[in-house]
Amino acid sequence: MQHLQILWPDSIDIREVSPRDGLQAEPQILPTEQKVELIKKLGQAGLRRIEAASFVHPKWLPQMADAEEVMRQIPRSANIRYSVLVPNLAGLERALGTKPDEITVFVSASETHNRKNVNRSIEESVEGFKTIVSRSHVSGVEVSAVIVTAFGCPYEGAVPVSRILDLIDQFQGMGIRQVTLGDTVGTANPRQVYHTIKTIYNRFPDIMLGLHFHDNRGTALANMLAAISAGATYFDTALGGIGGSPFSPGAGGNLATEDLVYILEESGISTRVELSSLIATGDLLEQWIGHELPSRVHRARGRMVPVSGERQE
Amino acid sequence: MQHLQILWPDSIDIREVSPRDGLQAEPQILPTEQKVELIKKLGQAGLRRIEAASFVHPKWLPQMADAEEVMRQIPRSANIRYSVLVPNLAGLERALGTKPDEITVFVSASETHNRKNVNRSIEESVEGFKTIVSRSHVSGVEVSAVIVTAFGCPYEGAVPVSRILDLIDQFQGMGIRQVTLGDTVGTANPRQVYHTIKTIYNRFPDIMLGLHFHDNRGTALANMLAAISAGATYFDTALGGIGGSPFSPGAGGNLATEDLVYILEESGISTRVELSSLIATGDLLEQWIGHELPSRVHRARGRMVPVSGERQE
């Protein structure tokens, strides 16, 4: 039996990704005003980092065709950082025009997945980041990177940790300090998560390491617990648990913001997010997208409220 | 920030409760032959402890009216222990006639819940256990106890750990060595689970402590991870995640056997249960009960099988 050191941090930070990673996977395309309303309400619930849009070409991602308009209409505040996803230089030009607080770039940990996702090799993707980072930094915009399929690839299966270390090494070389590991197909397990994160912190003690879990097999919260035990405090979540990459066979919903906020707040770990606001906003989102949200906490309506009264059979 | 010691055990043990705790909550009453087939297939999948029936009076629980017949028809084997639920002396007499390997008694940690569940005070319930234990031991049958609402009550809310310690103390006094804590309404959180279990082991180092988690808020696997970190290795689960007490408002499905087996086996912790057999049996169960199983791993069809081939969009 192995003994491991576990931590309960005092607080964790959430990057809310439903407006981008969530809505891009929905067949129903929301009108701009609903997207803006969603982002506004997420901010009001206490979320201070929100992925607001994607600048992938509308030909590939019609759901995000109004990215400029969304960015123009959302309320700006010193307390909320808006990030946008940028796939290439053309996307960067569009993105920088909208004055985001942060730009996110992405690459797969597996060669096959990267080719199928963006039709480039990993090397070509990372090479492209250099110009994106330098141009963004000139504009005063920070860049963070997401490594997708970091815990397993739908085509190649297992992904060695050495590939993640190698990518992080290259990112740090170009001035990217924030790196998020995506469990794109929801195959990570708690032990793997714990060891991967420990290995990364050993080599890169100053990294701002985020985790982006998918909940296809109901493992996201257990993986999150393993991640905080390994020292992680940054998590991507999506309201209602919507999302999932359309280019990843078997991908399922993101870890639901409600589910993370509920379990951590109950455990005495602060998220600074108000659960009741998330549930009310989830009700709206459910109407807009036209189907039930995967979030269990949404379905349970949040915390238990003790009832008094007669036997309920 | 607090530091805690975590453990990854080499293996854990499952008590499969779908034939009793699962099926008793289903509106569709299965014919005896399907129940027997279910139990047979669960044993073939590798489950070695199966809760096979309940001897609650058929007036209250028509789903279990054929308990004697089920017990008569299931295949007995030295490798499989069958337990049955017993609510009172009348139930005990019926149960002992069916030659179970084990009898399970239950009491709530909260007075209100116990009254609503069995129309007795906690004291009366525990007093009743004494005769059940002595008669069972005379017949060579072991007794294990379940403390329901151990982590929270739908009527009273929070449940102090002292009540659980007090109950365990009384159980040990009458020779009950196995005690299971039920998170009947799915409100336990990982930190509470960890501390409760640690507190119990400190006071009762030799206890065989089981955990019975419900997954209403998607917390069951994270709670299980906290539990194994605190040293627990016995878990109740139900195939497909079916179940939930009909007398507990807000109760939801049990932790799914597939979900537990998947995440632990992926983490290198042995359950001795074959996932593919569980999924095949889940398909049957789904047909029989006539609705989709809550289990996420069932829906995901188990482990990821890497695909090769064209871009899947």
Could you tell me if B56 and B104 are in contact, meaning their C-beta atoms sit under 8 angstroms apart?
Answer: no
Listed in sequence order, the DSSP H helices in chain A are 32-44, 67-73, 89-96, 111-118, 122-138, 161-173, 190-203, 220-229, 257-266, 275-289, 296-299
- B208: helix, strand or coil: strand
- Using a CB-CB cut-off of 8 Å, the residues of chain A touching B224 are 222
This prediction has a pTM of 0.94
Ordered by start, the domain boundaries in chain B are 13-299
A–B CB contacts, 8 A cutoff, strictly below: 164
**Chain A contacts of B217, Cβ < 8 Å?**
259, 262-263, 296-297, 300
Minimal-distance CA residue of chain A relative to B118: A311
Coil, strand or helix: which one is B9?
coil
User: Looking at residue A59, what is its pLDDT?
Assistant: 94
- Please report, for residues A39, B49, B53, B91, B247, the alpha-carbon distance to residue B68 in angstroms, rounded to integers and kept in the order given: 58, 18, 8, 11, 24
Alpha carbon separation from B230 to A286, B8, B148, B196 (Å, rounded): 38, 10, 20, 9
Give the SS3 label for residue A143.
strand
CB-CB neighbors (< 8 A) of A308 in chain B: 155
Closest CA to B188 of B180, B196, B199: B196
Predicted local confidence at residue A172, as pLDDT: 97
pLDDT at A300 over 70: yes
Classify residue A159 as left (phi > 0), alpha (psi -120 to 50) or beta. Answer: beta
Angle formed by the axes of helices B257-266 and B275-289, nearest 10°: 160
Nearest CA in chain A to B5: A5
In this complex, which of A222, A263, A307 lies closest to B154 when CB atoms are compared? A307
**Predicted confidence (pLDDT) per residue in A162-199, tens digit:** 999 999 999 999 999 999 999 998 999 999 999 999 99
Q: Is the pLDDT reported for residue B253 higher than 70? A: yes
Closest CB to A190 among B155, B263, B312: B263
Q: Which residue of A has its CA nearest to B224?
A: A222
A108-161 tens-digit pLDDT: 999 999 999 999 999 999 999 999 999 999 999 999 999 999 999 999 999 999
Q: What pLDDT is attached to residue A313?
A: 34
- Round the CA-based radius of gyration of chain B to a whole number and report it: 19
Which chain A positions have a beta carbon within 8 Å of B6's beta carbon? 3-6, 229
Contact B49, B18 (CB under 8 A): no
Mean pLDDT value across residues B151-165: 95
Band of residue A94 on the pLDDT scale cut at 50, 70, 90: very high
Residue of B nearest to A114 (CA): B311
User: Higher pLDDT residue, B100 or B8?
Assistant: B100
pLDDT reported for residue A1: 52
**Separation CA B251–CA A139 (nearest Å):** 53
b/e sequence B81-108, b meaning 16+ C-beta within 10 Å: bbbbbbbbeebbebbbebebbbbbbbbb
Confidence of residue A309 (pLDDT cuts 50, 70, 90): very low
User: B13-299 in CATH: which number?
Assistant: 3.20.20.70
Mean pLDDT over B208-227 rounds to 96
C-alpha pair distances (Å), B234 with each of A191, B211, B231: 19, 6, 10
Taking an 8 Å cut-off on Cβ atoms, the answer to whether A116 and B311 are in contact is: yes
Mean pLDDT, rounded, for B203-220: 96
What region, left, alpha or beta, does residue B195 occupy, with left being phi > 0 and alpha being psi -120 to 50 degrees?
A: alpha
CA angle, B117 then B207 then B159, to 5°: 40
Q: Inter-chain contact A311–B247, Cβ cutoff 8 Å? A: yes
CB–CB contact B300 A217 (8 Å) = yes
